[in-house]
Amino acid sequence: MTSGIRVTGRRCGAAAITAFTFSGAYAGGIDHEVALDQSGIWNRNVQLALEYAVIATTAGGALWLGNDNELGHTFWQTADATAISAVAAQGMKYAFGRQRPSAGQGPNQWFSGGKSFPSGEVTLQASFVTPFIVNYGRRDPWVWALEVLPLYDSIARVKSQAHWQTDVLAGWALGTAVGYLSTTWQTPLFVQILPHGLTIGFAKRF
């Protein structure tokens, strides 16, 4: 168990470094401020509704179906992915300290106390959809349509002047990497940690 957590930490660290390297390589070319737009589907309330819906769907699907169910197992993998990537994204925010576009200081203000890099919400969306795509993408190609969630959130966060373009790309890369990693574990970490009564699935009790 301990060795597995250590390996997970190293792999997530590698994913974080990859995301940062990717972002740094392209920052000079694509990062620019866009006009503030929170109308219609770009409204902040819509973004938050999507975030809460993803969290609720993950928890509800995992607890209801249980790890012994094929879809439930994917939900537990998603729970691992969203939790681990959230911690990684938050750590990167503190480590890199990038200022948000709304600060009006340009895209090169790193290590200055900001929390722009990477986008935690895009990380969440990418980590949520990736286990479903890995497990079901070949069987049901329509599952790839789930990528519209991180795509929407990426555009929305940039339009809200909350993130630079490379912030959302790095978040997408981080969430995807951790999401894929979670599918390589035979037993999800939460299933190993939580009591069996929680992971067996409430559906089996009815």
Q: From CA 168, how far away is CA 143, in angstroms rounded? A: 22
Could you read off the pLDDT of 138-193 as tens digits, one per residue? 999 999 999 999 999 999 999 999 999 999 999 999 999 999 999 999 999 999 99
pLDDT at 198 (0 to 100)? 82
Domains in the chain: boundaries: 2-205
Q: From CA 151, how far away is CA 133, in angstroms rounded? A: 15
Contact between 146 and 89 (Cβ < 8 Å): no
Could you read off the pLDDT of 22-50 as tens digits, one per residue? 545 445 579 999 999 999 999 999 999 99
Q: From CA 38, how far away is CA 186, in angstroms rounded? A: 42
> Under CATH, to which class is 2-205 assigned?
mainly alpha
- DSSP assigned state of 147: G
Question: Average of pLDDT values for 70-79?
Answer: 98
Question: Average of pLDDT values for 104-132?
Answer: 97
Torsion angle in degrees (nearest 10) through CA of 195, 199, 204, 206: 70
Mean pLDDT, the chain, whole residue set: 89
Residue 196 reports pLDDT greater than 50:
yes
Q: From CA 69, how far away is CA 74, in angstroms rounded? A: 9
Question: Average of pLDDT values for 6-12?
Answer: 49
Give CA separation, 54 vs 36, 43, 79, 125, in Å.
25, 17, 10, 7
Q: From CA 71, how far away is CA 13, in angstroms rounded? A: 28
Count CB-CB contacts under 10 A for residue 168.
Answer: 29
